Structure 1
Amino acid sequence: MIRSFQARMTVIATDESGMSTVEYAIGTIAAAAFGAILYSVVTGDSIVTALSNIITRALNTNV
Structure 2
Amino acid sequence: MKLVTMFRVLEARAALLAADESGMSTVEYAIGTIAAAAFAAILYTVVTGDSVVTALTNIIARALNTKA
TM-score by length of 2: 0.62
Q: What is the DSSP-based 3-state SS (H/G/I as helix, E as strand, rest coil) of the residue aligned with 1:20?
A: helix
Residue identity in the other structure for 1:32:
A
Q: Distance in 2 between matches of 1:33 and 1:54?
A: 28
Identity %: 85
The answer to whether the aligner puts 1:55 opposite 2:60 as a matched pair is yes
The answer to whether the aligner puts 1:44 opposite 2:49 as a matched pair is yes
State which structure, 1 or 2, has the greater radius of gyration over its C-alpha atoms: 2
The structure 1 segments of at least 4 consecutive aligned residues displaced by more than 6 Å after TM superposition are: none
List gaps (5 residues or longer) in structure 2. 1-18
List gaps (5 residues or longer) in structure 1. 1-12
Residue identity in the other structure for 1:59:
L
- RMSD value over aligned CA atoms? 2.5
Q: Identify which of 19, 25, 31 aligns with 1:20.
A: 25
TM-score by length of 1: 0.66
**Count of residue pairs brought into register by the alignment:** 51
Residue 40 of structure 1, CA deviation = 0.5
Q: Distance in 2 between matches of 1:24 and 1:41?
A: 26
